[in-house]
Structure 1
Amino acid sequence: MVEGGCFCKRIRYIIANGAYPSVICHCTMCRHVHAAPYVTWLVVPVAQFEYVTGTPTALASSTDGTRYFCSSCGTHVACSNTGHTDIIDVAIGSLDKPEAFPPTLSIYTNTQLPNHPTLEIKP
């Protein structure tokens, strides 16, 4: 079982064990919402993900996307997209053991900040 949650521990989730892709996103929306040069997501089938403590606040960040965060500490824990309703993107930084899922892909590299190096993705 993979576990994670927000900084203050009010929101906790579990993910069934599996080999899930970890994706580095360079899109401007992710960068802005997370105040970071990029965000890394674990791409998980919704059926394998469950909140076990607390309920995150939902923010409709676009016509297609909803982001979920803790209203107490502000930690962003997940993101969903209307085009992929069977998937939830879980913020790698909210995992208890993020090192278990090294990045496998970079997306939106056309909007990557020019002063940040491209990370080497190892298969």
Structure 2
Amino acid sequence: MRLEGGCLCGRLRYRLERVKSAYWCHCTMCRRASGSAALPWVSVAREDVTFVSGTPAVFESSPGVARRFCGNCGSPIVFDMARESDVDVTIGTLDDPDRVPPTHHIWGSSALHLARDLGEGLPHYDGERPSDP
């Protein structure tokens, strides 16, 4: 599945290949980085993300974690944890976000009460999603 997206001002454009999963994150850092009650992401292999225009700004939100965003409009785009082979891309910046509906929630232990009904009926995990068998 090929997807494309970009930031609010249009300076950053990207292309994704082979989406692996989609989920809602309720961790405090994602909430603060996005200004939202929860943040929906798609996971893709690092090599399956290509910026086709513009170069993202980078903020190291914790050791080994880079958050890539538009340095002009501030749109958060990529969460990149160096120890992982996958990166996460914000669903809201996709041109067609409805193509990848989230299937679960992570960091539910940090979820705000106002966000507990998002994606009603989806599994909730208190931390990261358990590894698939």
Give me the TM-score of the superposition, normalised by structure 1: 0.91
2:19, 2:44 within 8 Å by CA — same for their partners in 1? no
Unaligned runs of 5+ in 1: none
Letter in 1 for 2:15: I
Measure how far apart 1:117 and its partner are: 2.7
Measure how far apart 1:20 and its partner are: 2.5
Letter in 1 for 2:3: V
Q: Which residue of 2 aligns with 1:113?
A: 112
- Count of residue pairs the alignment pairs up: 120
Measure how far apart 1:83 and its partner are: 2.2
Give me the TM-score of the superposition, normalised by structure 2: 0.84
Q: Which residue of 1 aligns with 2:99?
A: 100
SS of residue matched to 2:29: helix
Letter in 1 for 2:93: S
CA distance in 1, matches of 2:26, 2:100: 18
Overall identity of the aligned pairs, in %: 34
Unaligned runs of 5+ in 2: 124-133
Q: Which residue of 1 aligns with 2:50?
A: 50
CA distance in 2, matches of 1:47, 1:117: 33
CA RMSD of superposed structures (Å): 1.4
Higher RCO (CA 8 Å, separation ≥ 6 residues): 1
Letter in 1 for 2:11: R
Measure how far apart 1:64 and its partner are: 2.9
Closer, same or farther: CA 19–117 of 1 in aligned 2, 3 Å: same
SS of residue matched to 2:47: helix
CA distance in 2, matches of 1:95, 1:82: 23
